[in-house]
Structure 1
Amino acid sequence: MARSLLRRLAGPRELDLRWTSARLDPIAAPESYISAILRDDHCDGSQLRPLVSLANQVVERAIDQPLRLLRERHAADSVFVWPGQHYRLLASIVEVLKPRTIIEIGTFNGASALALLENLPAAGHLVTFDIVPCFQVDRTLLRAEDLDGERLIPVTADLHRGEVFEAYADLLRTADLIFIDGPKDGQFESGLMSGLGRLGLAAGTPLVFDDIRLWNMLHFWHTLDLPKLDLTGFGHFTGTGLALWQEQHS
């Protein structure tokens, strides 16, 4: 009853959550955001076996990841916190999967890219997309020498634009692992899933989603119709989700 009353009072407007946010202050966490707990009945437990197997391997190896590249670049101390940050988990999943092609969506300062490069096989390559050129980002951790060869390929492009997505369709189709850290604007992630369905992504391709516990990502993650696991306790405090692509999603 209280919940329905709250909805009626709020109407179409966003609730003022400043009072709720203030209640987090006494906890004295370095960062805090308002999220929600959602029950999820979408996935048949039998579909989760390969996902659980992968997650077990990745989590077990995450704690021992040295993150040498990030240490060499003097990344912020918070990057090396685990659990709480996802960088060890990203390095670990590359170590377990040994992918030849990784697609990252959302380069920003390059911290995640360096984690993904940590265990990338010699013949592998990471293609990372962003709408801002990587060397125009303040305090980027990437260097010009990172672009020597084809292990790291930064692309400045907006995959939310249909013609741009189609231009990179052949590349996206070859992905062995996709890490999605996009704008979380309520549109991009859903559009990306539709696009991946159209291009025929291989069944079983692992997808890692960042920030699934942030308010703007709750609905997307809750309604994502794929075998999925919330690995927040072993990854990023704002949410880490692991999913496997299915053919029927295409």
Structure 2
Amino acid sequence: MEFLDERIEQYVYRHTQSEGELLTRLEKETYDRLDYPQMVSGRIVGRFLKLQAQLLGAKRILEVGTFSGYSALSMAEALPEDGRLWTCDEDPEAIAVAKKYFAESPHGTKISLLEGRALDSIAQLTDTLDMAFIDADKGNYLNYFQAIIP
């Protein structure tokens, strides 16, 4: 399903800052290796998430739904050196791709990948969050929201 006219999407893409070589490789590997590769955030969403984190001055971010790690790495770019991003997922194949690129990125040390059910992972967090990005199983969005903001 297309949400945006293709001409508008092309315009936005052309006028969005490049994501860099690492994220370009990550997106390609996502399409080559994983099921449902269209779920990758990609350049436009990734740069937008980074901008949001920058504008908020976020130091603590939670992401529900890691997939291959594109959005986590995008947001981690905006974090200060002492910033932290927790990201939750339970798909072992996607987690393997994410871990590979987290290890390659200079921002990967800011990321903690929480493997398993997201609601269980959220329940274990004790830090105050500055930002949350929910991009997981749509049927649980309200549950995730309520777990993050009780």
TM range (shorter): 0.5 to 0.7
The answer to whether 1:125 aligns with 2:84 is yes
Q: CA deviation at 1:113?
A: 1.2
The number of residue pairs the alignment matches comes to 125
**Partner residue in 2 for 1:196:** 148
Counterpart-to-counterpart distance in 2, 1:124 and 1:149: 11
Q: Is the 8 Å Cα contact of residues 77 and 107 (structure 2) preserved in structure 1?
A: no
**Partner residue in 1 for 2:11:** none
**Partner residue in 1 for 2:17:** 65
Q: CA deviation at 1:150?
A: 3.8
AA aligned to 1:144 is: A
**Partner residue in 2 for 1:109:** 68
Show structure 1 runs of 5+ residues with no match: 1-31, 35-62, 199-250
Counterpart-to-counterpart distance in 2, 1:97 and 1:127: 17
Structure with bigger gyration radius: 1
Structure 2 residue corresponding to 1:152, chosen from 95, 107, 111: 111
What SS does the aligned partner of 1:86 have? Answer: helix
AA aligned to 1:179 is: F
Counterpart-to-counterpart distance in 1, 2:79 and 2:17: 13
Cα offsets for 1:189-236 (capped at 9, x unmatched): 1112222343xxxxxxxxxxxxxxxxxxxxxxxxxxxxxxxxxxxxxx
State the TM-score, normalizing by the size of structure 1: 0.42
Which structure ranks higher in relative contact order (CA pairs < 8 Å, sequence separation ≥ 6)?
2
Counterpart-to-counterpart distance in 1, 2:108 and 2:66: 18
Cα separation, partners in 2 of 1:99 and 1:93, compared to 1, 3 Å: same
Q: Is the 8 Å Cα contact of residues 147 and 153 (structure 1) preserved in structure 2?
A: no
The 4+ residue runs of structure 1 with deviation greater than 6 A are none
More helix by share: 2
Q: Is the 8 Å Cα contact of residues 91 and 118 (structure 1) preserved in structure 2?
A: yes
Q: Is the 8 Å Cα contact of residues 134 and 144 (structure 2) preserved in structure 1?
A: no
AA aligned to 2:111 is: L
State the TM-score, normalizing by the size of structure 2: 0.66
Q: Is the 8 Å Cα contact of residues 146 and 152 (structure 1) preserved in structure 2?
A: no
The answer to whether 1:140 aligns with 2:93 is no
Q: Is the 8 Å Cα contact of residues 88 and 115 (structure 2) preserved in structure 1?
A: yes
Cα separation, partners in 2 of 1:113 and 1:149, compared to 1, 3 Å: closer
Please provide the CA RMSD for this pair.
3.1
Counterpart-to-counterpart distance in 2, 1:90 and 1:148: 15
Identity among equivalent positions (%) equals 26
